[in-house]
């Protein structure tokens, strides 16, 4: 019998899952009764974990530390050359809190059979998670599989990584972290991590893009390439418009809002090797204070439309910018009496009938405490606007988000969230206090629940359900 352990990588960050693969192979000439590795009540193999969290070593099995006699061990016939395989998260059974070097070994003693695996080594490094954003397959059957892309500081270097999340119970707002991975080392000035949004199941995509900003450089990395592609965006004050979008052919489109906040460019990274190019440049009539890009479903045609919010005197102005391959069409402003909130991010959705829907949170007066929400719908060139007063915050709003349903191309009224110095509040028609452990970096509306992407400096990114 041959027992093997395998880890996909050697470096893990504090708070990450450490998933190990286990394989048992019958190397003999006859069938044997071998222990079933994937049974949660199995006593074999016995694993031994050693490292700073367990300096004397700790033994465990899949059912915990409760001993089970060999006769109680679940078994099944295993023919010559056949294998039993399983995998599990080490940290789910034995939490690892301390950074440092670790080793995991395993041994089977079952009904006269014995096998011992060579130890595998891994390292835990203390991480400080800095920023995160979401990658979503909107309007697709895979929407419930989500990606949180993050940047973390780790012992003198900075890493770009990704956590794979799954909405397991939409009705209960349950999201599980399936796995995490480190994508690429970045420079120490890296900010604004992103993974593109798509309107299809990205498992069928030919590219897996991720990107970030370093100073005035835009960098994007594909898993099938050895190093990032770069583009000079002219200034470290230029900003990436979220989300970025990827076509089914693998082309990545990134909107850049210039330092003056009045120049918009679309940068195109083609799926084949080669430098990126500027698809088009457009001048905005006024400075944009907030921006969001949306994409329609494949059935709708995949329209790309951005929403900008600006301050024009004592008016809040919302513009639609229709995105083409070679140009952008900038629409006339729709205005309301009000003031743009700091760090305000509107939401935009394109319905199956081609209508465009925007939700934005705004202030009724310069105090930034009297909060209103506007929902706009454009159909056949005409805009319809509804405005709601949702209440007064205890202190001035410092950040605002909005979100439409990512699972359906029939968008309902958008949900929203605001942050003040005293905490978070959000909802639909009134301010509901929201308790969040971590810093909110994104708002997401799914079929039955609204989530925040909460970033903990030590635990990383997680989707947390709200009650609105």
Domain limits at 45?
2-125
Same-domain status, 166 and 256: yes
Q: Report yes or no on 420 lying in a domain.
A: yes
Residue 284 burial class via C-beta count within 10 angstroms: exposed 0-12, middle 13-18, buried 19 and up: buried
CATH of the domain at 266: 2.120.10.10
* Residue where one domain finishes, among candidates 283, 306, 330: 283
Same domain (yes/no): 84, 13: yes
Q: Are strands 113-125 and 11-13 parallel, antiparallel or unpaired?
A: parallel
Our count of domains for the chain comes to: 3
- Examine residue 444 and state whether it is found in any structural domain, yes or no: no
Q: Say if residue 168 is in the same domain as residue 84.
A: no
Residues 88 and 157 in one domain: no
Helix (H, G, I), strand (E, B) or coil at 464: strand
User: CA 63, 67, 68, 69 torsion: positive or negative?
Assistant: positive
**Residue 425 is assigned to a structural domain of this protein:** yes
Residue 316 is assigned to a structural domain of this protein: yes
Q: What is the CATH number of the domain that holds 18?
A: 2.60.40.10
Q: Is residue 396 domain-shared with residue 276, that is, in the same domain?
A: no
* pTM of the full structure: 0.91
Domain boundary among 79, 95, 125: 125
Same domain flag for 426 and 356:
yes
Written as tens digits, the pLDDT of the chain (468 aa) is 999 999 999 999 988 889 999 999 999 999 999 988 888 888 889 999 999 999 999 999 987 665 544 446 778 999 999 999 999 999 999 999 899 999 999 999 887 889 999 999 999 999 999 999 999 999 999 999 999 999 999 988 999 999 999 999 999 999 998 889 999 999 999 999 999 999 999 998 989 999 999 999 999 999 999 999 999 999 999 999 999 999 999 999 999 999 999 999 999 999 999 999 999 999 999 999 999 999 999 999 999 999 999 999 999 999 999 999 999 999 999 999 999 999 999 999 999 999 999 999 999 999 999 999 999 999 988 889 999 999 999 999 999 999 999 999 887 789 999 999 999 999 988 999 999 999 999 999 999 999 999 999 888 999 999 999
Q: Is 318 found in the same domain as 264?
A: no
Structure tokens at 435: 């308790």
Domain membership of residue 466 (yes or no) is no
Question: What distance in Å separates the CA atoms of residue 146 and residue 133, rounded to the nearest whole number?
Answer: 11
Direct distance between the N- and C-terminal alpha carbons of the chain, in angstroms, rounded to an integer:
55
Residues 48/93, Cβ–Cβ less than 8 Å: no
Asked if the structure places residue 371 within a domain, the reply is: yes
Instruction: Classify residue 71: in a domain, yes or no.
Output: yes
**CB distance 335 to 317 below 8 Å:** yes
Distance of CA 445 to the CA centre of its chain: 14
Handedness of CA 66, 12, 131, 274 (dihedral sign): negative
Per DSSP, the three-state class of 71 is helix
Q: Residues 425, 345: one domain? A: yes
d(CA 159, CA 179): 16
């Amino acid at each position: 019998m041959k027992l093997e352990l395998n880890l996909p990588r050697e470096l893990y960050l504090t708070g990450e899952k450490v998933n190990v693969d286990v394989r048992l192979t019958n190397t003999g000439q006859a069938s044997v009764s071998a222990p079933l590795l994937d049974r949660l009540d199995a006593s074999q193999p016995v694993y031994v974990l050693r490292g700073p969290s367990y300096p004397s070593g700790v033994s465990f099995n899949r059912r915990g530390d409760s001993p089970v006699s060999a006769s109680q061990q679940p078994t099944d016939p295993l023919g010559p050359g056949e294998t039993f395989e399983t995998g599990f998260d080490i940290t789910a059974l034995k939490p690892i809190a301390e950074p440092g070097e670790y080793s995991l070994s395993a041994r089977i003693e079952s009904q006269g059979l014995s096998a011992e695996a060579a130890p595998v080594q891994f390292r835990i490094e203390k991480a400080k998670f800095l920023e995160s954003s979401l990658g979503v397959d909107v309007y697709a059957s895979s929407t419930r599989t989500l990606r949180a892309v993050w940047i973390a500081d780790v012992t003198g270097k900075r890493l770009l990584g990704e956590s794979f999340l799954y909405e397991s119970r939409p009705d209960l707002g349950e999201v599980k972290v399936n796995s995490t991975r480190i994508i690429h080392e970045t420079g120490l000035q890296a900010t604004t991590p992103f993974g593109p949004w798509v309107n299809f199941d990205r498992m069928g995509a030919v590219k897996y893009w991720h990107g970030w900003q370093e100073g005035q450089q835009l960098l994007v990395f594909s898993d099938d390439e050895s190093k990032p592609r770069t583009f000079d965006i002219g200034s470290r004050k230029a900003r990436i418009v979220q989300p970025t979008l990827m076509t089914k052919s693998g082309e990545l489109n990134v909107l850049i809002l210039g330092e003056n906040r009045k120049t918009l460019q679309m940068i195109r990274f083609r799926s084949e090797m080669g430098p990126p190019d500027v698809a088009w440049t457009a001048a905005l009539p006024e400075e944009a204070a907030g921006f969001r890009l949306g994409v329609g479903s494949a059935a709708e045609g995949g329209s790309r439309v951005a929403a900008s919010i600006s301050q024009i005197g004592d008016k809040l102005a919302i513009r639609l910018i229709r995105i083409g391959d070679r140009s952008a069409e900038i629409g006339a402003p729709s205005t309301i009496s009000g003031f743009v909130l700091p760090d305000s991010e509107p939401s935009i959705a394109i319905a199956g009938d081609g209508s465009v829907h925007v939700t934005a949170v705004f202030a009724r007066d310069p105090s930034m405490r009297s909060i209103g929400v506007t929902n706009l719908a454009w159909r056949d060139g005409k805009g319809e606007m509804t405005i709601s007063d949702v209440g007064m915050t205890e202190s001035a709003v410092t950040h605002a988000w909005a979100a439409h349903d990512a699972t359906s191309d029939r968008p309902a009224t958008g949900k929203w969230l605001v942050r003040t110095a005293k905490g978070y509040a959000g909802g639909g028609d009134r301010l509901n206090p929201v308790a969040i452990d971590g810093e909110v970096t994104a708002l997401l509306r799914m079929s039955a629940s609204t989530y925040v992407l909460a970033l903990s400096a030590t635990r990383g990114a997680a989707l947390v359900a709200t009650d609105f």
